């Protein structure tokens, strides 16, 4: 009955499955029509007729319980099977809250069917496949969804409760070792869970749209702290580097927001560097180009973050006004062990210099790596070797010449 496309063709009057059958897939009606038939006191009752584009048998997608009704074709019908294993795979990658909603809706549907008539009993000695695993899985799904909802709830109020912090990590000259600038890195000081790293909540801020407000907060806080932080750099042209999310970079008001903040805190545009990844340039090439050019017109520099992890080469990004390349930590950590990493780092430095860009190596943790990068002609470095990200207050407590 299967053809090449995995479609199933049934003649008129054929039974697709019977109430009580085991089922491990749902079906989408591509062509034709089927009737859904229930059983009341041994009497067949037509519950509904489904046509093109409609789905049936979907309860089998959540558990291995028996079919709750019988399905027969009313004419020649083409069905697309939707196997549970495939849906599972998709579900596992989906949003935990949506996953729970779907589970609840399907469970309710099965329970209603259950009240409408008893299920066919399971063979003696056989535990229903929908028993234990279903419960523990449900608990796990509940847990994931609740965790996300709680995090989203907490995150929504974190701004007004002033729970975000910026920590500043030094960026140093590879030749002199002097601090030339700082990168601002956000943390969430959660009232119960302590300091939460950005990777654990920024994805959620992006999903809920909160990322723009968080982005503005970060810019404002970095600008507010800069006049004091500046004193901890040993350069005639020190800078503060701020990470920008793609959502911020496609906001038409970004340049104006930044301009206002620079005026408010009396910051020279050249002192503010904006870090971005290539995602935004790939997803919104024209818009990004327009907004980024406006920022550069203001006098701020752009740094391409996580270089080497994306898809496009530097040539592709040449049309954007990028002044600094930040080579991703992955290549730096493996620099001494991997010829491949060395080749990538060396060719990135050479190419960047030929395009008049400066290069920052991220994640420098050891002196031999620092020395090697220096020999390769890399300009700047950032990493635990020079200093961890720290709040402004800790810099205040350090002697001015020992801020690494
Ligand atoms: P990133 O921009 O690549 O930031 C560098 C990350 O590497 C930071 O992690 C930093 O603490 C860590 N790091 C620095 N030196 C070393 C080292 O020597 N070894 C190791 N193992 N790690 C090192 P963090 O602070 O957890 O930030 C993670 C990411 O979160 C950042 O990656 C950035 O993409 C994002 N992020 C942080 N703050 C902001 C923000 O204010 N706005 C936006 N949009 N994104 C942010
Ligand atoms: Ca960064
Ligand atoms: Ca990075």
User: Is 11 a residue whose pLDDT tops 60?
Assistant: yes
* Alpha carbons 3 and 1: distance in angstroms, whole number: 7
What pLDDT shows up at residue 205? Answer: 93
**Ligand 1 atom with least separation from CA of 167:** 25
Residues whose CB is less than 8 angstroms from the CB of residue 301 and which lie 6 or more positions away in sequence, other chains included: 239, 270, 272, 273, 274, 323, 324
Asked whether 248 lines ligand 1 (CB < 6 A), one says no
Asked whether 202 lines ligand 1 (CB < 6 A), one says yes
**Mean pLDDT, all residues of the chain:** 88
**Ligand 1 atom with least separation from CA of 382:** 15
**Ligand 1 atom with least separation from CA of 365:** 18
Instruction: Using the mean position of ligand 3's atoms as its centre, give its distance from the Cα of residue 328 in Å.
Output: 6
Taking every pair of C-alpha atoms in the chain, what is the biggest distance, in angstroms? Answer: 90
Which amino acid residue places its CA nearest to atom 17 of ligand 1? 363
What pLDDT shows up at residue 202? Answer: 94
3-class state of residue 171 by DSSP: strand
What pLDDT shows up at residue 228? Answer: 97
Asked whether 203 lines ligand 1 (CB < 6 A), one says no
Asked whether 222 lines ligand 1 (CB < 6 A), one says no
Yes or no: say if 265 and 221 are a contact pair by the CB < 8 Å rule: no
Asked whether 246 lines ligand 1 (CB < 6 A), one says no
Asked whether 384 lines ligand 1 (CB < 6 A), one says yes
What pLDDT shows up at residue 401? Answer: 55
Section 351-367 average pLDDT:
96
Instruction: Enumerate the H helices of 67-95 as residue ranges.
Output: 84-92
Asked whether 199 lines ligand 1 (CB < 6 A), one says yes
Asked whether 365 lines ligand 1 (CB < 6 A), one says yes
> Six-digit token pair at 269?
């545009």
What pLDDT shows up at residue 273? Answer: 97
> pLDDT tens digit string along 154-172?
998 999 999 999 999 999 9
**β-sheet bridge partners, residue 48:** 36
> pLDDT tens digit string along 253-312?
999 999 999 999 999 999 999 999 998 888 888 888 899 999 999 999 999 999 998 877
What pLDDT shows up at residue 113? Answer: 61
* Alpha carbons 226 and 58: distance in angstroms, whole number: 57
Confidence of residue 333 (pLDDT cuts 50, 70, 90): very high
Instruction: Using the mean position of ligand 2's atoms as its centre, give its distance from the Cα of residue 183 in Å.
Output: 7
Confidence of residue 107 (pLDDT cuts 50, 70, 90): confident
What percentage of the chain has pLDDT greater than the value 90?
A: 63
**CA gyration radius, the chain:** 29
């Amino acid at each position: 009955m299967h053809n090449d496309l995995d479609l199933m063709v049934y003649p008129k009057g054929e039974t697709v499955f019977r109430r009580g059958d085991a089922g491990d897939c749902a079906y989408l009606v591509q062509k034709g029509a089927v009737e859904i038939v229930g059983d009341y006191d041994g009497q067949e009752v037509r519950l509904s007729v489904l046509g093109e584009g409609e789905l049936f048998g979907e309860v089998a997608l959540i558990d291995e319980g028996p079919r709750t009704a019988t399905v027969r074709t009313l004419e020649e019908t083409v069905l697309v099977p939707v196997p549970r294993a495939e849906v599972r795979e998709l579900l596992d990658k989906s949003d935990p809250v949506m996953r729970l909603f779907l589970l609840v809706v399907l469970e309710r549907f099965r329970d209603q069917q259950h009240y409408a008539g008893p299920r066919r009993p399971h063979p003696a000695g056989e535990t229903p496949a929908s028993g234990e695993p279903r419960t523990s899985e449900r608990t796990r799904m509940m847990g994931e969804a609740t965790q996300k909802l709680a995090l989203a709830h907490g995150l929504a109020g974190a701004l007004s409760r002033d729970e975000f912090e910026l920590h500043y990590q030094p960026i140093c000259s590879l030749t002199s070792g002097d601090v030339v600038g700082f990168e601002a890195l956000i943390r969430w000081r959660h009232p119960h869970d302590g300091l939460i790293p950005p990777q654990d909540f920024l994805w959620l801020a992006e999903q809920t749209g909160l990322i723009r407000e968080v982005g503005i907060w970060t810019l404002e806080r970095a600008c507010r702290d800069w006049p004091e932080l500046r004193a901890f750099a040993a350069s005639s042209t020190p800078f503060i580097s701020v990470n920008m999310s793609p959502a911020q970079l496609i906001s038409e008001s970004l340049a104006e927001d930044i301009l206002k903040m620079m005026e408010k805190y009396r910051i020279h545009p050249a002192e503010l560097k904006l870090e971005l990844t290539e995602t935004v340039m790939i997803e919104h090439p024209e818009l990004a180009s327009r907004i980024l050019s406006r920022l550069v017109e203001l006098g701020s520099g752009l740094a391409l973050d996580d270089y080497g992890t994306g898809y496009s080469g530097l040539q592709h990004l040449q049309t954007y006004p990028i002044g600094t390349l930040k080579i991703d930590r992955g290549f730096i950590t493996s620099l001494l062990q991997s010829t491949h990493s060395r080749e990538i780092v060396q060719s990135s430095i050479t190419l960047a210099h030929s395009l008049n860009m400066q290069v920052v190596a991220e994640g420098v943790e050891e002196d031999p790596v620092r020395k090697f990068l220096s020999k390769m002609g890399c300009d700047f470095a950032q990493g635990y070797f020079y200093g961890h990200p720290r709040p402004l207050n800790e810099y205040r407590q350090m002697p001015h010449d020992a801020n690494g």
